[in-house]
């Protein structure tokens, strides 16, 4: 039974490390940009939107459609960067955990 207890202990440690890593990801900020930096979206590495900045030159009722497109593009850029940071952090965390051959973490 020692092997089973070792596996259960390892699983518990993995779960604790994953919870810690997820909490840390919410403190990491990324910035998505569009329109050459005229629209910026700040987000956490978990994808939570923190802020939005729109350059005054874009605030024209006639250009509403373009502004909306740029906001969407900036959001998607931030989301892509958040995913990259999250994947890097989770890979670092997983590389330090001695997992049995064939065992994969859920990410």
pTM for this model (two decimals)? 0.58
- CA 51 – CA 71 distance, rounded (Å): 11
- Say whether 56 sits in a helix, a strand or coil: helix
The candidate with the shortest Cα–Cα distance to 40, out of 14, 75, 4, is 75
List the domain boundaries for the chain.
Answer: 2-95
Q: Where are the alpha helices (DSSP H) in the chain?
A: 2-25, 64-95
Query: Could you report the per-residue pLDDT of 65-97, keeping only the tens digit for each?
Result: 888 888 889 888 888 888 888 888 777 776 666
Record: fold of 2-95? Ybab; Chain: A; (3.30.1310)
DSSP 57: G
Tell me, what's the pLDDT at 97? Answer: 62
């Amino acid at each position: 039974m020692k092997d089973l207890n070792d596996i259960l202990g390892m699983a518990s440690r993995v779960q604790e490390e994953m919870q810690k890593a997820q909490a840390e990801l919410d403190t990491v900020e990324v910035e998505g940009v569009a329109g050459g930096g005229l629209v910026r979206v700040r987000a956490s590495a978990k994808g939570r939107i923190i802020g939005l900045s729109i350059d005054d030159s874009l605030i024209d009722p006639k250009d509403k459609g373009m502004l909306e497109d740029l906001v969407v593009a900036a959001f998607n850029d931030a989301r892509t960067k958040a995913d990259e940071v999250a994947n890097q952090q989770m890979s670092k965390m997983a590389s330090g955990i001695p997992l049995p051959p064939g065992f994969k973490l859920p990410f």
